[in-house]
Each structure stands twice: as structure tokens, then as C-alpha cells.
A and B are shown apart, each in its own frame.
Chain A
Amino acid sequence: MDITEYFTDYTLRTITLGTAVLGAICGMLGSFAVLRKESLLGDAISHAALPGIAIAFLITGAKDSNVLLLGALVSGLIGTWWIRGIVSKTHLKTDTALGLILSLFFGFGMLLLTYIQKQPNANQAGLDKYLFGQAATLVESDVIMMSIVTGISLLVLLLFWKEFKLLLFDANYAMTLGFNTKFIDGLISFFIVLAIVIGLQTVGVVLMSAMLLAPAAAARQWTNSLSVMVLLAAIFGMFSGVFGTAISASQPNLSTGPVIVLVATVFVVFSFIFSPGRGILFKQIRLLRNRRELELQKTLYFMYSIVRKHEDTSRPHAIRILNNFQGFTKNTLSQLEQKHWITIQGTNWSLTDLGFDTASNLYNTYIPET
């Protein structure tokens, strides 16, 4: 595929823009969902939006996507509110509440959809694009609306940044400072639901949760700062959208939504492995390095325990006597020599003054000075 197609092909340009904007808003708001330990809220809400779409269609009879999305928003908010109600008023746990709302709302939505399909109304075709998402149906007005919503949520995010951050990390403190935590909580939930609803048309009910949390989970691995995380998540989300669209356009029979999700998953896997601070690879390397360091110290200390009873601490000893000690290898010996802790002459080793000092202070170094 030629790169110029992006600028000449109307459909492709619209879809790419749309998925990029969607990825950005999902990454941005998804960061909050992930940090609030509400990753699966996205899954529940995207399913819970279905009856709203069906009811909006039943009432208006129109297929205007803005009206349908308004219905989805209302029903998603009702779902969120009910989940909160179940968790706070009964002893059922969050997972059960999410599963309940997800399946019950979705089933009710299916009932309504099949009911609509039986109606003598030719206009109903295409409602099920919200189920699996069809990026191909994106038009310019959709992209404009997405951009407006993204702009508004960015504005609100900046305005209430301090409050959101405080609520996220220390809700009780926020309450004692006199912030209206219920309002702030509602606000952030509202925007998360909004992002989900916007994405339904593009990636569909099932994959929406991944759109929301994959960029955020990837971004989390690279930083401990909230602002950097939100920014990174937005960038990851955006690139998932752009790459996903490009890959799916380059081959026939590749649906856009799933490809975007897989690209986002690749971002996550890459971050899990290669992030310098938390990644599995560097963690493993650090672990090995620590283990080797410890072995070195063990060997040195063993030598020290042999030597310290003698008056002349640098007296040579046979390497042979280290044999029943497990930490010792040829490699450790040469490393110890490199550090100038010991000297090796033939089959004998002797501790240097530096080595003796290091060994005698080995277990003191970590005691903080008082």
C-alpha cells in the first residue's frame, strides 16, 4: 500500500483519523480506569450500552448515530450506577456485580434487537454494527464528534487534574480536605462511560474493554507519574489505531477492530518485557546480577573466615580448600581478582588488605548511619 493513499483516499483517511482519536481518548481515560482497579468496568459498560441503543432506536425510529449513542450513554450510566449500588449495599463483590450487569443488560439488549428485527421497518438494518463494530462505517461527522468529545474530556481532565489525582491515590484524604468526592467520582466515571460509548461503533462491544485498558496497562510499565502515564497511554492508543487501520487496510478480509486490539496487545507485551523499570527482561537481568554479586560476596566472606584467625592476613592458601564451599567457581575467583580483593599465584590465593577490609565490613555497609 502506498503511503500517499492516506492523504488521497477519503475513507481510509477518515477511518485512520477516527481510530487514532478513539485510541487517544481511550488511552487517556483508560489510565484512570486501570488505576482505579476498574479495568473490567469497560467490558461491563460496553455490554450494558446495548439496550440503550435499541431503546433509542425504538423511540426515535431514526438511525442517527448521535441519538443512538445518547441512548447508549444513558444505559451505560445506569449500568455503572447499578454496579456501584450492588457493591456498596450488598455483600456481592465487584466481579459478580460486573458480570451480572454485563450479561443481564446485554441479554435484554438482544431481546430488544430481535424484537426490532421482527418489526416491519426497513430502517433497522445495521443496528448490529454496534455489536462487533465496523470502522468502515465511520464518516467525517463521526470523527468530528469524536474529536469534540476528546477535546471536552481533555479540558475537564486538565481542569480537575488535581482532584482526579487526589481521589485516585487517596480518596479518604480528598474527603477530609472537603472535596466533593461523590461529584468527582461521578465525573470521571461519566467520562469513562463516554469514551466507551464513542468507541462502540468502531471496535464493538467485546473489544472495547481492550481499547480502554491495553494502552493504559502498557503505559503503566514505563512510568510512575500519572501525567506521563496518561500522555503515554494516549500515544500508545493513537498508534494502535493508526497501525491497526493500516494493517487491516493492507489485506483483504481483515476486520479493523480486532487488528487494532491485537496491535495494542503487542504494545502491552513489548512493555511487559522491555520496560527498563518493571519489565520482565530487566527484572530477570537484575535478579541474575544480584545473585552473582551475592555469590561473590559469599566466597569472599568464606575466605575471610579462613584468614582472619591468622596473624598474617595475606598468607597464601591453596585454592583446593575452597572445594567444599559451593559459591566458588573459577569465574568467581578471577572476578575477585579483578576487584583486587585477592591475588592468585599458581594454586594459591591470598586476601589483599582491600579484600580483608571489604569482607570485614561486608555486612555492615547496609546498616544506615545513625
Chain B
Amino acid sequence: MNPSLEIQLIAAVTAAACAIPGVFLVLRKMALISDAISHSILPGIVIGFMITQDLASPWLILLAAVSGIITVILVEMIQKTGLVKEDTAIGLVFPALFSVGVILIAQNANDVHLDVDAVLLGELAFAPFDRLYWNGTDMGPKALWIISGILMLTVTLLLAFYKELKLSTFDIGLSSALGFSPVILHYGLMSVASVTTVAAFDAVGAILVVALMITPAAAAYLLTTDLKKMLVLSLIFGVGSAIGGYWVAHGLDASISGSITTVLGLLFLTVYLFAPSKGLIAVLLRQNRQRKEVSLLTFLLHLNNHDSVEERRVAHLQEHINWRKVRATSVLDLAVRNNMIVIEDQVVSLTRKGLEFTEKALEYIITNKDEKIEDMKDDFFLFRG
């Protein structure tokens, strides 16, 4: 295998391994725990490195994962005292642990060949140089083996506990009533997130781990509300951006992890803007339409209230309801197009259909019963068509 293919493979597998726990972190509103873990594993890594002198040793991963879990426990302990909110607790714990790590590195600068840069930023380009030999044969890059192992573990756990995870994510009360311990699932998920972060940091750096966990899941969440689809979509997004990012880095001759994050960012931006029904544009259009519909309703009710010709002149209406001219015209247009009103000699009057519609609306407003609005929903759909 040539190094280029190996790098892409490592990036893709890492992306996949991060995407799965990421989905649950985003859904459980714990996305920032991944950020905290990715920083606070530093002291674990440094201590592990001081003991083993090997950046890819399993002890290192174990110790780092333990410090990740300690972070989670500390955050929860602080939170339980009720002295500060959860986000403050996270923000207090990880910089403190990170500081300990930085100081440990600086103190042992002579015998620790470990850089804070390397931990935070990672360098994927070097990953293929650290190879695994078994009985003298080259088995490929070590990082690939480690991260593939983690991916297998994550997938196995996901398949085994899919139902439990789903239940405890969406209805924690029901899941504990049914006897699934939310605490065990919580710590299980946190352990998987810690182990994945640790395994991935060496190849792609701590910050990219956060991006790879949160971004694909967030983008997928804007596109679907089905957990299975969300998992599949975030896997596709993660792996796609990993490979796309590699080629961007190749073209620009820049950091691979930076490029992957940038591609992820562009992907999220696109989804954020254009996602059907949940994207920014769709939301703005919908808000605009709803505002117009409410205006229309107000307008019709107003007409219903005023019988005299004087009060129904177009110019007077604009003044009376105090809309800006543009909106007044568009509301008038909408009403005319739907045969709700007729305009004769600048005087607006309700048609029979408009009258019926207004009566129904009035009834709904007075009684506030849901069944009254059922027919009106169809009428509203007529406007939108």
C-alpha cells in the first residue's frame, strides 16, 4: 500500500469511529464533553509516555482514557454540588487538567519527546511511518490497526446496545423505569468517547477529533430526525470529508487535519444554509410566510369588523393597521389571489369565501379549540400552493 492510500484509510476509519459516538453526544446535548475529554487526556498521555516511552503503546491509551473518564466524573461531581452550572463545571475541569499536562511536559522536557502541538494538532502525514511489525513482516501503519480496532469495538457495542442507547437518549425516564441503568449507559458512552478520542489524537489531533465527532452528527441532525438515518448520514459525511480533506491538503500542501476540518466546515455551512425544512433559508422563508399568514388573518378580521365604505379604502387600511406599504400590498395580493376579497374603486370588501374563512378564524380564536382550526389548515395550504 502506498502512503497516500494509507493516510486516506486512517483518516476515513478515524472519521467513522468518531461519527458513531458523536451522534449520541449531539443528541444527548453533551457535545462539549468531547472537547473537554480531548484536552484533559493530556496528563494521562504524558504520564503514560513517561512510563512507556512509546506513543502508540496500549498503556498510553488506557491511561489517557482513564483521565478522560476522570474528567467526566469530576464534571459530574462539581455539577452535583449545585454551586455552578454544568457548562461552568466543564470549563473549570479541562483547562486545569490540561495545565497539569502542559506543566508535566515542560518539567520533563529533556526526556519526553512529546509536544503540546503534536497532541492538539496531530500530523496525519507522519502516521504511516510508525509501522506495526509482526514476526518481521510489515503489517501496515500502527495507527490504522489501533483505530480499526476501536471502530470494530464501537460498532459491536452499537449493535449490541442500540435499543438501550436509543431509549435512554430520547426518554431517560422510561429507560430507567424499564430497568436499563442510565448511569451505566452514560459511562459506557463516555468511555467509548474517551477511548476513541485517545486513539484518534495521535493521528489527527485533539481538535480534529472534536470536529469529527460533532460536525457530521450536527449536519445529519439538520437533515433527518430518524436515528438510523442520522447514523448512516454522519458516517457518510465523516468519511467523505476525511477523504475530500486529504485531497485539499494535497493540493494546498497544508495540514491534513486542518483541511479535513475545513471541508467539514464547508459541508456544515452548506447543510446549515440549504437543508430542506431545517436549514437557515428554509427557516427564514417559513417565518416570512407565517408572518404573512398572520397578517392576512389580522387583515381579514379587521375587514370583518368595519362595514363602512370609508374604513375599507385601501389607503386608509394601510394607515389603520400600520403596515409598511410593501407588506400591505403583498397581503392584499395574497388575499385577492385566493378570492378572499374583492377590490372595487379602491374599496376592499370580503367575498363569501373570505367571510366564511374569517368566521371560522374568529370561532377558533374565541373557543381556542383545536378542531376548529382543522379545516382552516387546508385553506392555509391553498395559499402556499
A residues at B contact (CB < 8 Å):
34, 37-40, 42-43, 47, 85-86, 89-93, 95-96, 98-100, 102-115, 118, 128, 131-132, 206-207, 209-210, 213-214, 217, 220-221, 253-255, 257-259, 261-262, 265, 268, 272, 278, 280
Contacts and interface: CB of A to CB of B under 8 A. Distances in A.
A206 B101 CA distance: 12
A232 B221 CA distance: 42
B215 A98 contact: no
Given A37-B85, A254-B107, 7 more contacts: A91-B278, A92-B26, A93-B29, A93-B31, A110-B121, A118-B254, A207-B95
Nearest to B42: A206
Interface in B166-204: none
Given A108-B258, A213-B91, A207 B107 contact: no
A352 B90 CA distance: 56
A265 B96 contact: yes
B108 to A, nearest CB: 9
17 contacts: A40-B32, A43-B91, A90-B278, A92-B221, A104-B211, A104-B265, A107-B207, A108-B262, A131-B117, A206-B95, A206-B120, A210-B92, A220-B83, A258-B100, A261-B99, A272-B78, A272-B83
Nearest to B225: A91
B222 A103 contact: no
Contact of A118 (B26, B253, B257): B253
* Nearest 5 A/B pairs, CB to CB: A107-B261, A111-B258, A210-B95, A258-B99, A103-B211
Contacts of B109: 253
A172 B29 CA distance: 25
Q: Is the interface of A mostly helix, strand, loop or mixed?
A: helix
A207 B260 contact: no
B287 to A, nearest CB: 9
Contacts of A93: 29, 31
A222 to B, nearest CB: 11
Nearest to B82: A278
Contacts of B30: 95
Contact of A114 (B208, B254, B278): B254
B259 interface: yes
A58 B27 CA distance: 38
A168 to B, nearest CB: 14
B39 interface: yes
Interface in B202-219: 207-208, 210-211, 213-215, 217-218
Contacts of B261: 103-104, 106-108, 110-111
Contacts of A103: 35, 207-208, 210-211, 214-215, 261
Interface string B253-274: 1110111111011001000100
A133 to B, nearest CB: 10
Contacts of B78: 272
